[in-house]
Chain A
Amino acid sequence: MDLEGFEAATVPHMNALYDAALRLSGDQATAQDLTQETYLRALRSFNTFAPGTNCRAWLLRIQYNLFCTQYRRGRRMPLVWLDEGEADPSLDLPSAEPGPEEEAVRRLDREAVRRAIAQLPEDFRVTVTLVDIDGLTCAEAATVMGVPRGTILSRLHRARRRLEAMLLPELGRVQADDL
């Protein structure tokens, strides 16, 4: 087994996998288990991964299938993900030459964004996670979720309008300040 090759291909995506797992499950313990199980399954089937294709999409597909078959079971989404007093590592954004959007977003309350995402229906939440956060194309997200690309676009559009409505005070303030 090419463990070195497996790690080189997959470990750079662990943050994305964990984040997606957290958004799927809603709690950190489950997210860790889901991430670990995803990696183990990926290791066992690494011979099916086609080099040169999107490894992140491949891993996310394994994870999404795993979640649907073994973890879903009507789990509730808590609204607060980080333990009180725990450092929020996502606050350490790269500081090199942020674009205007990134600069504006620095002022956003990230917890408010997370809460808003958590309030979306699962299909919308997963779609937003795959495309907006993990950076998959709509076609890749469609493969992960097993739906047509048009469905992904439609879900994204509706999800983003909901998020916009929930976050408008934040986004509007940022926009007014930064334009």
Chain B
Amino acid sequence: MTCDDFQLRITAYSLGELEEAEVPAARDHLAACDRCASKVLLDRQLTAALRASAVPAPAATRAAVLTAVRAEAAGQPLPRPARRPNRRRHWAALAAALLAAAAVVAAALLVVPAPDPGSPLAAAWSSYHDQGKDGLGTPTPAEAERMFAVLGPDSRTPDLAAFGLEKTGWEARDLAGHLAAVAEYRDPTADPKHARVTLMRWRGELPRDAPGPDEGGELAAYTWGRHTSYWWRADGVVWCLVGTIDQDRLYEIAEHLGGES
């Protein structure tokens, strides 16, 4: 066996996976070749390094898994996972968004001045609040045409029936100077307090206080009371998904709509 022959088999040799018939020749070669013997040592060190990099399951994970398994075995409802896929909370951003949202919602509910009424974020929250009272109608053909001219295919109201949501209306709205397509959905089977979803889209920049993935990245949830929102920007269009339904389902909808890449 030459060095080249051995190098092709070094991984199999180090792992003990070399064909039995080849083992004697490999050993003979190693006995005579310091260079290949040194490579084998390096290879085994690499294996040990890889093995040592293993990360054990945290105690909380072990407990959660066992709880879920025992609940399943007992036929009980599964406990909710502590966290869902890929939802990372960016706490600084969350805090900023919460402050802004709190101020706007407070303004809407308590009639106190919002800190930045000209912000699209403030306008979006106000719009969301108003829709909760008034609902949405149906746009005129002229409004629909104008929306399509501004937003293109993104002005179309997505069908979210696969997520158990019915479309209850959509409108063109002015959000701090931005023409926005606003769509309203309801989950007819849910408690009305936890049944609402609103989708807003307009062309522009992400509001300063609502940092989300800008043209690609991971979604972050911003929560205010029972309301959760996801913001992102794709192809120059800002998307704001806000609602009171289960946060996990809202995340899946945001992901479905392209809020994560």
Contact = CB atoms under 8 A, between A and B. Distances in A.
B217 to A, nearest CB: 9
B218 A76 contact: yes
Nearest to B61: A32
Given A36-B65, A39-B65, A18 B55 contact: yes
Interface stretch (B83-91, B165-173, B238-246): B83-91
Interface residues of B, number: 48
B69 A101 contact: no
A45 B250 CA distance: 30
Interface residue SS majority, chain A: helix
Contacts of A19: 54-57
Interface string B44-86: 1111111111111110111011101110110000100111111
B21 interface: no
Interface residues of A, number: 67
Given A30-B86, A110-B53, A153-B11, A174 B45 contact: yes
B84 A110 contact: no
Contacts, number: 160
Interface string A157-169: 1001001100100
A37 B49 CA distance: 29
A111 B152 CA distance: 46
Most buried by B among A81, A82, A133, A175: A133
Contacts of B12: 138, 153, 157
A145 interface: no
Contacts of A18: 55-58, 61
A39 B56 contact: no
B45 A160 contact: no
Interface in B16-48: 17, 38, 41-48
Contact of B81 (A36, A99, A106, A137): A36
Interface centre among A40, A74, A132, A174 (most CB of B within 10 A): A132
Nearest to B75: A1
A88 B255 CA distance: 31
Contacts of A135: 51
A6 interface: yes
B149 interface: no
A90 B86 contact: no
Contact of A133 (B11, B50, B87): B50
B64 A32 contact: yes
A40 B54 contact: no
Contact of B55 (A7, A90, A160): A90
A47 B57 CA distance: 25
A57 B43 CA distance: 24
B111 interface: no
19 contacts: A15-B57, A19-B56, A30-B85, A32-B65, A33-B83, A39-B65, A43-B69, A93-B52, A104-B48, A105-B49, A117-B53, A128-B50, A133-B50, A153-B11, A157-B10, A157-B11, A164-B42, A170-B49, A175-B45
Given A18-B56, A157-B10, A163-B50, 4 more contacts: A6-B69, A19-B56, A36-B81, A171-B42
Interface of A: 1, 3, 6-7, 11, 14-19, 22, 25, 27-33, 35-36, 39-40, 43-44, 71, 73-76, 81-82, 88-90, 93, 99, 101-102, 104-106, 108, 110, 113-114, 117, 128, 131-133, 135, 137-138, 153, 156-157, 160, 163-164, 167, 170-171, 174-175, 179
